[in-house]
A and B are shown apart, each in its own frame.
Chain A
Amino acid sequence: MTAELYGIAASDGIAIAKTYRLESPSLEFDKKSIDDPALEIERFHTAIAVSSKELELIKEQAETQIGPKEAAIFGAHLMVLSDPELIGPITEKIENDLVNAEFALHEVSDMFMNIFASMDNDYMKERAADIKDVRNRVLAHLLEVRFPNPGLISEKVILLADDLTPSDTVQFNPEFIQGFVTEIGGRTSHSAILARTLEIPAVVGVKKLMASLADETLLIIDGIEGKIIADPTEEQIELYKKRKIDFEDRKTALAALKDAPSVSADGFKVELAANIGSPKDVKSALENGAEAIGLFRTEFLYMGRDSFPTEEQQFEIYSEVLKAMGDKPTVVRTLDIGGDKELSYLDLPKELNPFLGLRAIRLCLEMPDLFRTQLRALLRSSVHGNLNIMFPMIATLDEFRQAKQLFLEEQEKLAAENIPFSKDIEVGIMVEIPSTAVMADLFAKEVDFFSIGTNDLIQYTMAADRMNENVSHLYQPFNPAILRMVKMVIDAAHKEGKWAGMCGEMAGEELAVPILLGLGLDEFSMSASSILKTRSMISSLSKAEMEKHIDSILALATAEDVKNYVSQLVDK
C-alpha cells in the first residue's frame, strides 16, 4: 500500500529504487546444553566458512573501490576468523562444556575483547571493536539472521538506516546507492553531508522509518521536499520520473553559470557573494560560483573553547580564507558576540534585553584589547589576499570613528614593527540599526562601504523578535518601511561613490532580488547554495525595467501589496 513519510530535506534530488535496510540484526541468543558436540562444531565451522567467504568478497570489493590501505582492515578480520587461539578454545568449550556454539563464541571472544579494551593504548582499545565486528558476523550466521553487507550491494538501492556511520559509508559503492533515508540526524549529520558530497538525494529525521518500511520496498525519495513515498502508484512513478529529469536539467543549466558573470538582461553587473562561518565553507562558496565572500562571521573562532583565541590562531584562520579566495574580495565582520551569543570564558552580566544590550561593536569598544587583537590578526593576514573589514551593530558615527581609530592605531604599530599589511583594506559597516540607515548620508562620507544586515535591520525596525511566534508575523522583509530604508542606504552610498551590499537572507530571496536590482544594490551576499539560482534570475531581469517600478513599489502600503506587485512583474 502506498505510504508517504516526511523528514528533513538534507540533499537535493530525486530517485526511485528498492530499499535496502542497513541495520544491525538482533543477535540475542540463549545458552543451551547440547547432546551432539560434533554436530555443533560442524555448525560453527560452517558459520566461520560463510563469514570468511563474505569477508573475502568485501575485501576484494574494497580493494578495487577504495584502495588496498582501506581494505587491509578486512584482511585483519579474516585473520581473526582463522585464528587458532580463537577457534581452538571455542571448539574445546563446545566439546567439554556441551554448550551451543553461540555461547562458546560469545564467551571466548569476550575474553579477547576485554584484554584489548583494558589496554592503555587507544589504538589497541579500538581493536576490541574489530573483534566484535567479526564475532557479530559469525553470530548472525549461526542465528541465521541477515548481517548487512553494504560493501556487497551490487544493484541500485536506497539505503534505509537508523543513522549512517562513517564506517558504514566507506564500504559501499556510490554507483549503486541512489539515496539515503535515515531515522535520526539533521542537515549537518554525517549522512546528510555525505549525500551532498555524492550529489545523491537524502531525507533525514524520518520518524518511525525503520518500523514502517521493509526491505526491497519500491521507494521514491524526494530530497527537495523532504518526502519519501513507499509502494508508489504508476502515476506517482511517472510524475517523479519527470521531476527527476527536470531537476537534472535545472542542475546542468545552473552548473553552466558557475563561472559566468552576474549580469542583468540589460547588461548591469552586480557581485554575487557567499556568507561563510569558517574556512571550510570557502570550498563550497567557490564551487557555487561566489565572486566574493560578502560576510565572514568570525564568531566560530571564539566559540567552543575555554579562552580567547590568540592573535596567531586568528591570523592562521584569516590567512587560510584569504589565500583560498585569491584576488576575490573577502569581507570579514569583526566579532559579533554578547547578547544571546555567550562565551563560557567571558562573564557578562545577564541582561533583560540581550538584543538591545552590550553586544558586537559595543562590547568590542568596551573591551578594546580583545578588539585590537582581532584587528591586528586581520591586518597581518591582509597580505595573503583581498581583505575588507566591517563593524557590526554600528548605531552612531562616534562608534564607527572610535573603531576606525583603533584600526588605524594598530596599523601604525605594525608599521613601526616593520610587519607588512595591505594598504588597500576597505573599512565599512553593517547597516542593521535603523538610526544608521537614517543617517546613511553622513556615514557614507566616512565609511568605505555599507553592508545591509537585513535579519537584524528588520527586527529592530519592526520591533519584533522573529523567534517569538506571537509577533513573528511582524517580521516583514517586504514591508515598504524596510524597502525605503534600504533605498536610503544604497542611494547614500552611491552619492559618495561608495558601494552598498546586503548580507541578510533577503539578498537571495526570489521576490526580493528584482527590487534590490532595481534599487541598484551592488553586492548580494547569501548562502552559497543560493548563488547560482540568483545568477540565473538576475540574467533574466532588466535593471532599467525594475528601476521604473521602484517608485510604485515604495508607494505601496503593505508587505502583502509589495509581494503581489513583484510576483506579477516576475511572472510576466
Chain B
Amino acid sequence: MTEKQFTITDEAGMHARPASALVGTVSKFKSDIQLEYKGKKVNLKSILGVMSLGISSGSVVTISADGEDEDEAMAKIEEAMKAEGISN
C-alpha cells in the first residue's frame, strides 16, 4: 500500500470540477483508492463520496492506494492534483 498527504490550496476547496477530474483519473485503476479527511475515509472513485466531505481550502487530506497498480495510480493522482491547481 502507498500513501501520500496533500494540502488543498484551491480557494474554493474541493469543488465539483477538480473532484470530477480526480475521480475520473482514479476510476481507471484497479487498486482500492481511499481519501481520508478529518478521520473520515471515502472511496476516491466516488464523486459523491469526495464531495460529501466538504473539503475546504487549506485542509490536509491523505490518499492511499492499495493494489497491483498502486504506484502508477498515485503518480497520476499527484499529476491531476497539480494540473487542477488544487494542491502543490
Contact = CB atoms under 8 A, between A and B. Distances in A.
A347 interface: no
A300 interface: no
Nearest to A109: B48
Interface in A62-89: 72-73, 75-76, 79-80, 82-86
Contact of A83 (B13, B15, B48, B56): B48
Contact of B52 (A72, A84, A116): A116
A86 B45 CA distance: 11
Given A75-B20, A79-B23, A119 B54 contact: yes
Nearest to A72: B17
B71 to A, nearest CB: 22
Interface in B1-53: 12-13, 15-17, 20, 23-24, 27, 42-43, 45-49, 51-52
Given A112-B52, A123-B12, A85 B42 contact: yes
A83 B23 CA distance: 9
A116 B51 contact: yes
Contact of A121 (B17, B46, B54): B54
Contacts of B48: 80, 83, 85-86, 112, 131
Contacts of B27: 82
A79 B43 CA distance: 14
A127 B49 contact: no
Contacts of A124: 51, 54
Nearest to B42: A85
A143 interface: no
B51 to A, nearest CB: 6
A108 to B, nearest CB: 10
Nearest to A81: B47
Residue of B12, B20, B24, B51 ringed by the most chain A CB atoms within 10 A:
B51
A131 B54 CA distance: 15
Contacts of B12: 123
Contact of A79 (B13, B42, B47, B54): B47
A73 B19 CA distance: 12
Top 4 closest pairs, chain A to chain B, by CB: A85-B46, A79-B47, A85-B49, A115-B52
Interface string A115-132: 110011101100100010
A69 to B, nearest CB: 9
Contacts of A116: 51-52
A80 B52 contact: no
Contacts of A119: 54
B54 to A, nearest CB: 5
Given A72-B20, A79-B24, A86-B46, 19 more contacts: A72-B16, A72-B17, A75-B20, A79-B23, A80-B48, A82-B27, A84-B43, A85-B42, A85-B46, A85-B48, A85-B49, A115-B52, A121-B56, A123-B12, A123-B15, A124-B51, A124-B54, A127-B16, A127-B51
Nearest to B52: A115
A112 B51 CA distance: 10
Contacts of B23: 79
A115 B49 CA distance: 10
A50 B40 CA distance: 34
Contacts of B46: 83-86
Contacts of A123: 12, 15
Contacts of A120: 54
Interface in A232-273: none
A502 B49 CA distance: 65
Residue of A85, A115, A120 ringed by the most chain B CB atoms within 10 A:
A85
B73 to A, nearest CB: 16
